[in-house]
Amino acid sequence: MNTPLIQNLANWNPWWESGSVSPELKGIRRSYTDELIVLAEERQVKIVTGVRRSGKSTLFYQVIDWLLQTQKVSPKQILLINFEDLALEKINLEKIFDAYQTAFGPQSMTWLFLDEVHRQERWESWIRKGYDQKRPLHFFVTGSSAALLKKEYATLLTGRNLSLEVFPLSFKEFLSFSGGTAPALMALSTTAANNLKFHFNAYLAAGGFPEVFAKKDEFKRRLLSQYFEDILYKDIVARFGANYQKLKDLAIYLLTNNSNLLSQRRVRSGVEMGMGTIAEYLGFLEDAWLVFQTPKFDFSYKKQLANPKKVYAIDLKA
């Protein structure tokens, strides 16, 4: 049954035809892959969160490759739905799954990967129903909004999920992507130390977003700028209805004051926004993983709350 919906799904599931995941989709393996593989056969819903473009979708492709090559799962038992595709975002999840089963027949077990699922309304209710009915489904879910964790599935999927948080590359991972390994610092020769400094300077210049690593230098800044715009538009403005210009002004102010103490009164004078709006928009930026607030250490929690916090960006070049 080759309907337009199935044709669209086939574009996202090329292994239905080829039986494998292409090297371009698999990318370079990270430790997160092994962590998710350990969780793969557990009944609980596997929820992968993190900032946009941190490698969550690639992680899915790597696990799918493991299922095909190591576990010998039939290609048509694996269904990936990417809700960044507007044609799929507007279709009810149950309708998509019904079309899949109609085309290929109900499977003894289906490995269901839902990418950027927060774009689909009431996704958590459909998953809970399938989970509680003990249908032959393994659920894998990604989302680029921390609100996914805090507000949407916290109640409905309590006790039914296992979560994994994905970040941009650490310097150790950056070295691995460059074909090297982290050396023992106490045993470095002058040449090895200079090589390590060279890679560290490259890491400082480009940051840790995986796709940026592979780009030519002249495209790195353009791609990072696009990530910034996408986070603001797709993960905040489209989701929460925030004012784009005010949000952008605040984001730029915070990123240019990375690692500094955060005073909302000082922010107010810098971006000309009310205290309530600053607090609300700062929460949105944290939900999208663009920035984090870190309290001053103190054994007294009351003193932690009383002191100003420092603000940090998700990545060196965010």
Residue 296's pLDDT is: 87
Strands 261-262 and 161-166: unpaired
pLDDT of residue 156: 61
Pairing of strands 291-294, 137-143: unpaired
Provide the phi-psi class of 12: left if phi over 0, else alpha when psi is between -120 and 50, else beta.
alpha
Distance CA 246, CA 264 (A): 15
Query: Residue 66: pLDDT above 60?
Result: yes
pLDDT band for 147, please (50, 70, 90 cuts).
low
Mean pLDDT of 239-251: 92
Grade residue 154 by pLDDT with cuts at 50, 70 and 90: low
Q: Do domains 4-167 and 209-313 have the same CATH topology?
A: no
Lowest mean pLDDT among 25-39, 150-164, 239-253, 283-297: 150-164
For domain 4-167, the CATH architecture is 3-Layer(aba) Sandwich (3.40)
Give the phi and the psi of residue 163 in degrees, each rounded to 5. Answer: -115, 150
Which of 50-54, 59-63, 145-149, 258-262 is the least confident region? 145-149
- CA dist 236 and 234 (Å) reads 6
Residues 192-230 have pLDDT tens digits of 888 888 989 999 988 999 999 888 888 888 999 999 999
* Contacts of residue 33, Cβ cutoff 8 Å, sequence gap at least 6: 59, 62, 63, 66
**Is 113 a residue whose pLDDT tops 80?**
yes
Assess whether pLDDT exceeds 90 at residue 253: yes
pLDDT tens digit sequence for 100-112: 999 999 999 999 9
> Which pLDDT belongs to residue 158?
74
> What pLDDT, on a 0 to 100 scale, did the predictor assign at position 245?
94
16-49: pLDDT as tens digits: 999 999 999 999 999 999 999 999 988 899 989 8
| Candidate CATH numbers 1.10.10.10, 2.130.10.10, 3.30.70.120, 2.40.37.10; the one for domain 209-313 | 1.10.10.10
Would you say residue 132 has pLDDT above 70?
Answer: yes
Q: How many CB atoms lie within 10 A of CB 241?
A: 7
CA–CA separation, 160 and 154 (whole Å): 10
Taking the domains of the chain in order of start, what are their residue ranges? 4-167, 170-206, 209-313
- Cα–Cα distance between 135 and 129 in angstroms, integer? 9
pLDDT value at 265 more than 90: no
Rounded Cα–Cα distance for residues 285 and 269 (Å)? 19
